[in-house]
């Protein structure tokens, strides 16, 4: 019992300060890193480039969406490997390499894109080079030092993507007007280098803050095997896949949807900015909520609200644009939080990177497929109405799957931390 009490004190912070007083800087720098990373800034701004590509190359919307498909499939393939690396070696080195690689990829986009084949190839290269700048590495760092306030900490850290979604579309839209779409990519490269250097510098200074690093390869592998054998693992994966099939395409095609129903480009970009604000609110409020309410129930409520908003957009057009932007953004803000939180609560932290990497890969595959599916439906029907109805159907299926998840058995992290690993020695490691 004494060991358990000591562990609980370490994981939740002392009674005077708490978890946030000890680890607030880690949360802040993770938020910045996620915002500039491969899953945020490139994703939330890609829709702004679609019209420019169509004008320059004569691509269809489905073709212009192939970059997202290629990048998400490549990222999905890379993340299980990245999860293993982060489990073993920590955060700093993988993040450093990935942020540098992401900057290089922006330059390559600006210089070499001429054809669909080149476009998709570079999108895949961008995803691979930037793979460790995804939320996976940062979420593991947060989960290792937070327990009682884990949901809120994850929400704050992951809100960095919401900041990118809030300001990114408008800024990139202006950059395209001033510099052209190729020049906008050069600007993104410079920005990523500057912010990335700051992120790496702070993370390097935090290497003295000890965290319960992945215990041992043997323990990690065993925990991963046991997770894959559970129905819960596959139910989460199916729910996340269906959720992303609905939301991924909505994010990419939202600006084109607004243009189709009568908004001009600047108006559409401003309304799309509401998504970013809602993403931040979604991450913060959902993070706060899941620390107090059973997380799958929170997911169901959010999905039903998003379904109502998207249906309203399909039926009432411009009148529902702002409410739809808000509920879409709020749902997007919730999804990554929920994946990271559910993995930690159901499966613990020993094999967190490996399990989260595969769950997040599933999320990315669906995110990549969704814009192509919704774009193809729009190309076939001549309007986005059927695409919006399709997205709502996917979200309803996801809500039904979340309803099948069982209750949390126990505080898995504390249970693991308070008992010796199977056949291995428990060691502490650093962030780097």
pLDDT in tens, 257-291: 888 888 887 788 788 878 878 877 887 888 888 88
Q: Which of 333, 353, 334, 330 is nearest to 343 (CA)?
A: 353
Distance CA 254, CA 324 (A): 10
Q: Enumerate the domain spans of the chain.
A: 20-417
Distance CA 232, CA 255 (A): 36
Instruction: Spell out a b/e string for 22-51, using b for 16 or more CB atoms within 10 Å of the CB, else e.
Output: bbeebbebbbbbbbbbbbbbbbbbbbbbbb
Quick one: pLDDT band at residue 294, thresholds 50, 70, 90? very high
Least confident range from 100-104, 182-186, 358-362: namely: 358-362
- Tell me the pTM: 0.71
Task: State the Cα angle at 79 between 342 and 375, rounded to 5°.
Answer: 90
Mean pLDDT, to the nearest integer, of 76-98?
86
Q: Which of 41, 36, 47 is nearest to 248 (CA)?
A: 47
Q: Which of 101, 122, 372, 106 is nearest to 248 (CA)?
A: 372
Query: Are residues 392 and 246 in contact, defined by beta-carbon separation less than 8 angstroms?
Result: yes
Residue 211, SS3?
Answer: strand
Query: Are residues 394 and 189 in contact, defined by beta-carbon separation less than 8 angstroms?
Result: no
Residues with Cβ < 8 Å from 375, sequence gap 6 or more?
60, 61, 62, 64, 65, 249, 252, 253, 387
Distance CA 385, CA 377 (A): 9
pLDDT in tens, 107-146: 999 999 889 999 999 999 999 999 999 888 888 888 888 8
* pLDDT over threshold 70, residue 427: no
What value does the mean pLDDT of the chain take?
82
**Residue 381: exposure state from Cβ atoms within 10 A (0-12, 13-18, ≥19):** exposed
Query: Are residues 82 and 134 in contact, defined by beta-carbon separation less than 8 angstroms?
Result: yes
The pLDDT, as a whole number, for residue 221 is 56
Q: Around Cβ 82, how many Cβ atoms within 10 Å?
A: 24
- Structure-token pair, residue 256: 């084109």
Q: Which of 206, 214, 184 is nearest to 50 (CA)?
A: 184
Distance CA 427, CA 354 (A): 19
Q: Alpha helix (H) ranges present in 229-264?
A: 231-260
* pLDDT over threshold 60, residue 241: yes
Quick one: pLDDT band at residue 220, thresholds 50, 70, 90? low
pLDDT in tens, 402-414: 999 999 875 444 3
- Of the chain, the percentage scoring pLDDT greater than 90 comes to 32
pLDDT higher at 423 or 82: 82
Quick one: pLDDT band at residue 211, thresholds 50, 70, 90? very low
The pLDDT, as a whole number, for residue 222 is 61
* pLDDT over threshold 50, residue 160: yes
Topology, domain 20-417: Growth Hormone; Chain: A; (1.20.1250)
């Amino acid at each position: 019992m004494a060991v358990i009490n000591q562990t609980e004190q370490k994981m939740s912070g002392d009674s005077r300060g708490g978890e946030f007083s000890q680890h607030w800087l880690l949360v802040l720098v993770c938020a910045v890193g996620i915002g500039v990373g491969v899953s945020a800034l490139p994703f939330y701004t890609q829709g702004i480039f679609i019209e420019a590509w169509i004008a320059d190359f004569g691509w269809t919307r489905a073709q212009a969406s192939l970059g997202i498909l290629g990048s998400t499939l490549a990222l999905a393939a890379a993340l299980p490997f990245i999860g293993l690396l982060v489990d073993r070696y920590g955060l700093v080195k993988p993040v450093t390499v990935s942020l540098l690689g992401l900057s290089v990829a922006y330059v390559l986009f600006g210089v070499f894109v001429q054809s669909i084949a080149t476009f998709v190839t570079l999108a895949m290269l961008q995803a691979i080079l930037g793979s460790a700048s995804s939320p996976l590495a940062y979420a593991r760092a947060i989960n290792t030092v937070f327990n009682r306030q884990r949901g809120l900490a994850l929400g704050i850290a992951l809100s960095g993507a919401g900041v990118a979604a809030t300001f990114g579309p408008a800024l990139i839209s202006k950059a395209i007007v001033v510099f052209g779409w190729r020049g906008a990519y050069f600007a993104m490269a410079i920005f990523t280098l500057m912010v990335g250097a700051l992120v790496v510098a702070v993370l390097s200074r935090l290497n003295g803050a000890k965290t319960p690093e992945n215990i041992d390869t043997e323990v990690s592998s065993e925990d991963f095997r046991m997770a894959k054998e559970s129905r819960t693992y596959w139910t989460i994966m199916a729910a996340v896949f269906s959720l992303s099939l609905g939301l991924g395409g909505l994010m990419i095609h939202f600006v084109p949807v607004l243009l189709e129903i009568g908004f001009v480009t600047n108006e559409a970009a401003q309304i799309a900015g509401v998504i970013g604000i809602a993403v931040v609110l979604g991450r913060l409020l959902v993070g706060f909520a899941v620390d107090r309410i059973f997380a799958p129930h929170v997911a169901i409520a959010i999905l039903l609200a998003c379904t109502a908003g998207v249906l309203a957009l399909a039926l009432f057009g411009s009148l529902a644009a702002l409410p739809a932007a808000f509920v879409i953004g709020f749902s997007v803000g919730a999804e990554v939080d929920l994946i990271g939180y559910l993995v930690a609560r159901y499966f613990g932290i020993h094999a967190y990177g490996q399990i989260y990497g595969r769950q997040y890969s599933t999320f990315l595959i669906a995110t990549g497929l969704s814009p192509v599916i919704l774009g193809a439906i729009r190309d076939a029907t001549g309007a986005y109405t059927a695409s919006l109805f399709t997205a709502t159907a996917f979200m309803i299926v996801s809500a039904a799957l979340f309803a099948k998840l069982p209750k949390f058995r126990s505080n898995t992290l504390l249970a693991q931390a308070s008992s010796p690993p199977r056949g291995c020695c428990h060691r502490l490691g650093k962030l780097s």
